[in-house]
Amino acid sequence: MPGPRILLVEDEASIAEPFARLLAREGFEATIAPTAAAAVERFDRDRPDLVLLDLNLPDGDGRDVARELRTRSRVPIIMLTARGTETDRVVGLEIGADDYVVKPFSSAEVVARIRAVLRRSAERPAEDGAPPEPIIVRELTIDPAARRVRLGDAEVELSRKEYDLLLELAANAGRVVTREDLMARVWDENWFGSTKTLDVHVGWLRRKLHDDAAEPRWIETVRGVGFRFAAPDGDGSP
Ligand code: CA
């Protein structure tokens, strides 16, 4: 069975080549990208399981590469850098890097970090239960990884509950979700009592999606049962 694929983005051959050989001995499949441009190209081609990313590249900043990769996936990223100030560390982690190693590093230390980050990332979907893939219904896109919603070209600003409600409805697009299930999943699993808060939030969500309860494009009320979100194929009314 092939080992995890590692993309090593590093322009200094004296570091990259011996380290790639060491990774191979440790059971990883390592490929080297010596520039920022090559990193993005290789990433799209190889879809590695983890990226080791040098901060200083001849054609750009590793942090820009990290941002670019984050628009494509949640791939674990470990930043490699000669700089070790607290500011760099914070910036690296803020843009979505998973860990940070300061050069000169010991190979054993980096291999241990790689294994730890891969382990965490394998556990992540079970921890937060959020699917990393965007949910797309017609011109509406929900990105659960970033908790962002776009309607056409416009970003939709939602409160936490509005977002949770939309995600629950859209994940079941085309199917009725009962009021009880929505209350239980979005509010509290031990909920019982009034569902007025649900109607209030559906109302707010409709307004933000420019929807009309009387002639719904997105959220249809199924009287006495619950709500149905528009079917993904957009064949007429929801
Ligand atoms: Ca470098």
Q: What is the CA(11)–ligand 1 centre distance, in A? A: 5
pLDDT of amino acid 107 = 85
Please check whether residue 37 is in contact with residue 68, taking contact to mean a CB–CB distance below 8 angstroms. no
Domain total for the chain?
2
Residue (of 63, 171, 73) closest to 124 by Cα position: 73
* Cα of 60 from ligand 1 centre, angstroms: 10
Residue position matching structure tokens 């194929």: 233
16, 64: one domain:
yes
Note whether 65 and 109 are same-domain residues: yes
Spatial distance between the Cα atoms of 228 and 238, rounded to a whole number of angstroms: 7
| Residue 220 DSSP SS3 | strand
Structural contact between residues 171 and 163, judged by C-beta atoms closer than 8 angstroms: no
Q: Are residues 90 and 157 in the same domain?
A: no
Residue 63 has pLDDT above 90, yes or no: no
Could you count the other beta carbons within 10 Å of the beta carbon of residue 196? 8
74 Cα to the center of ligand 1, angstroms: 23
Residue 201: which domain range?
135-229
Q: How many residues does this entry show for the chain?
A: 238
- pLDDT attached to residue 219: 96
Global model pTM greater than 0.75: no
pLDDT digits (tens, 9 = 90+) for 33-58: 999 999 999 998 988 999 999 988 99
Write the CATH number for 184. Answer: 1.10.10.10
User: What's the mean pLDDT in 129-149?
Assistant: 80
Considering the domain architecture, whether residues 100 and 150 belong to the same structural domain is answered as no
How many whole angstroms from 142 Cα to the centroid of ligand 1? 36
Segment 128-156 shows an average pLDDT of: 82
Does the pLDDT value for residue 192 go beyond 70?
Answer: no
Predicted confidence (pLDDT) at residue 234 exceeds the cutoff of 70: no
Same domain, 9 and 110: yes
Kindly give the distance from the C-alpha atom of residue 57 to the centroid of ligand 1, in angstroms, as a whole number: 5
Phi, psi for 115 (deg, rounded to 5): -65, -40
State which of 121, 143, 167 marks the end of a domain.
121
Residue 126 lies in a domain: no
Q: List the structure tokens of 124.
A: 């992540």
Q: What is the pLDDT of residue 238?
A: 43
In a domain, 129, yes or no: no
Q: Which of 120-134, 158-172, 178-192 has the lowest mean pLDDT?
A: 120-134
Tell me phi and psi for residue 108, to 5 degrees.
-60, -40
pLDDT at res. 126: 45
User: In terms of domains, do 108 and 140 share one?
Assistant: no
Does 203 lie in the same domain as 101? no
State pLDDT tens for residues 81-124. Answer: 776 565 565 555 666 677 778 777 888 889 988 998 888 777 65
> What band does 235 get if pLDDT is binned at 50, 70 and 90?
very low
Same domain for 164 and 206, yes or no, is: yes
**Ligand 1 centroid to residue 94 C-alpha, Å:** 21
The pLDDT assigned to 127 comes to: 42
